Amino acid sequence: MQFRYTLKNLCKCGSKVCNWRTCTKISTQNQSCIHNIHNCVMEPCIPLPLKDDVLTELTQKAKDWALLHGIGMRSSKDINKDTIQLAPFVLLPSTFSKKEFDKAKVAQVLMNEIIHKAAHSYNFLKQCLSGTVEVDPFTAELFRIYETVRREGLAQSLSLGLIRSDYMLDTINESCLKQVEINTIAAGFGWMGPISSKLHRYVLHELGIPDIENHIPRNNALRGLSEAINFAWKLYGSPNAVLLVIVEEQTYNLCDQRMLEFDVRELNNAIRVIRRTFRNIASNGKLKDKRLFIDEMEVAVAYYRTGYSPDDYKSYQAWDARMLIERSKAIKCPSIQYHLAGTKKVQQELNRKGVLESFLSNSEHIDRVRSLFTGLYSLDMNEEGDEIIKMAIDNPSKYVLKPQREGGGNNFYDKDVRIMLRKMETSEERNAYILMDLISPPAVLNYIIAPGSPPELCKVVGELGVFGATIGSDKEIFYNEEVGHLLRTKRFNIREGGVVAGFAALDSVFLV
């Protein structure tokens, strides 16, 4: 079977190649509309739509396969610890450029190195976040913990980084891959990425599609993350110490979390895994000679699956638990400095001319990383920041306004960019935000499968995540691997992302 990869230009100005940011043939008022229809559309991996009888049978098979293989979540509407429901997914793998996919995979070890070195540069973090901590209480509290444990002397020199770098193809830049963000805390879907690839292999085989192995790449993210955790546990050097997984009071993304825990256990059955909330840790945690004990069990590795949002710290008890962990000898994933290195402000500063050279010495590697960056702009209280704000107010549809937050639903687009910037134009509050060029990804037809709903054929856009794992200290990195990937997809007219947040569906790449 022949697979084709084509881009159909939909620009209203009629040009074969159009950059709508600089197009003079369209009005400013129409720019947002032009983005929303997506300048380019990729052909799906097979001709669509499917015949009704084929779609009905295939959808039910795919749903059953998904539920029986752990593609599930707890319902946020009907919380029952004895049940899970289907996680939203797309029926077919989405076409994706192999060239750009390979570029992201190769670059991940460099991203790991940059984040690790940035995390261990106190002067860099302080310079980056000096304005942010003055106006953002959440980042300020994280930085207070960092300065406290640094002043006291770090009990543990090693950090474990399980990192995910997220990208989108950008039709404005000839469908080159551009980084959306980098996640250093609770970077999820190490299970959902690989299992979605297996689901799509099953679906294509059911459709009788041959020779798919070259199009759906093998994905070992789960085992790669488990191996890094196992490596860190061994480095701690106490055979009876446990892996502590710090979780929310109510976990919805259960399958993804538990499957990683189970895989760690399968890889090394000497590792006992315990799950505790911040509340549990504050009540039952203590230090003995800087060793962390929870319910009298010594902790070797503390792995955060929560703690990335102010909502995760509902009382000062939660902050006390975070401080207790950071003061301990347990190997943290992430350490407080790693957490800070994943903030939007650090991402923006890494994009400044000359900054990457502080962390990488090879010019080819620097160029490779820089090619993945999109435009990122500081809103600091200075002349440069003033000019950036004026630029964004004049053309709000070209940019995304981002606060120092994770988890989906926090960004501002279109007219809201102008409203927010005018509101804080003369206020220090703007130091808590960065501005990013709006990435305009190509769309592709696919069926969205969601619990309780019929399959919906619509245009969708994808966000690629590449996982990395690092272990090291401020002096060296002795574990640095790219370990796997995932693809999350959303309707083309939805701005925000996030499967758990309810904006996106699980997907996998069909490389062309």
- 108-160 residue pLDDT tens: 999 999 999 999 999 999 999 999 999 999 999 999 999 999 999 999 999 99
pLDDT at 503: 74
The predicted structure's pLDDT at residue 497: 60
pLDDT at 172: 86
**The pTM is what?**
0.91
Q: Is 480 annotated as a binding residue?
A: no
Residue 213 is predicted with a pLDDT of 80
- Report which secondary-structure segment, H or E, holds 445: strand 443-449
Q: Is 409 annotated as a binding residue?
A: yes
What is the phi/psi pair of residue 43, to 5°?
-75, 140
Residue 296 is assigned to a ligand binding site? no
Residues 182, 166: contact at Cβ < 8 Å?
A: yes
405 is in an annotated binding site: yes
Confirm or deny that 230 is annotated as ligand binding: no
Q: Residue 286: its pLDDT value, please?
A: 98
Does 406 belong to an annotated binding site?
yes
**Strand blocks (E) in 229-325:** 242-246, 273-276, 285-288, 291-294, 297-304
352 annotated as belonging to a binding site for a ligand: no
Residue 12, annotated ligand binder? no
Has 439 been labeled as part of a binding site? yes
Q: What is the pLDDT of residues 369-411, one digit of tens each?
A: 999 999 999 999 999 999 999 999 999 999 999 998 776 668 9
Write down the pLDDT at residue 294. Answer: 98
490 is in an annotated binding site: yes
Instruction: Check the annotation: does 438 bind a ligand.
Output: yes
Q: List, in order of start, the domains of the chain with CATH numbers.
A: 94-194+217-371+460-511 (3.40.50.1760), 375-438 (3.30.1490.50)
Q: Is 368 marked within a binding site?
A: no
3-state class of 193 per DSSP? helix
Q: Which residues pair with 443 in a beta bridge?
A: 41
Mean of pLDDT over the chain: 90
Is 257 flagged in the annotation as binding?
yes
Q: List average pLDDT for each run of 10 residues in the chain, which is 512 residues long.
A: 38 36 36 45 94 98 98 87 93 97 98 98 97 95 98 98 97 89 95 98 93 90 98 98 96 95 98 98 98 98 97 95 98 98 96 96 97 96 95 96 78 95 95 95 95 94 97 97 97 73 86 95
- pLDDT of 498 reads 62
Q: Residue 202 in 3-state DSSP? A: helix
Residue 171 sits at φ, ψ, to 5 deg, of -65, -20
Q: Which residues contact 405 (CB under 8 A, 6 or more apart)?
A: 138, 309, 310
Question: How many CA atoms are closer than 13 Å to the CA of 62, on its beta-carbon side?
Answer: 34
Give the pLDDT score at 221. Answer: 98
DSSP 3-state of 160: strand
Would you state the pLDDT for residue 408? 62
Say whether 385 counts as a known binding-site residue.
no
Predicted pLDDT at 494: 79
344 known member of a binding site: yes
According to the annotation, is 347 in a ligand binding site?
no
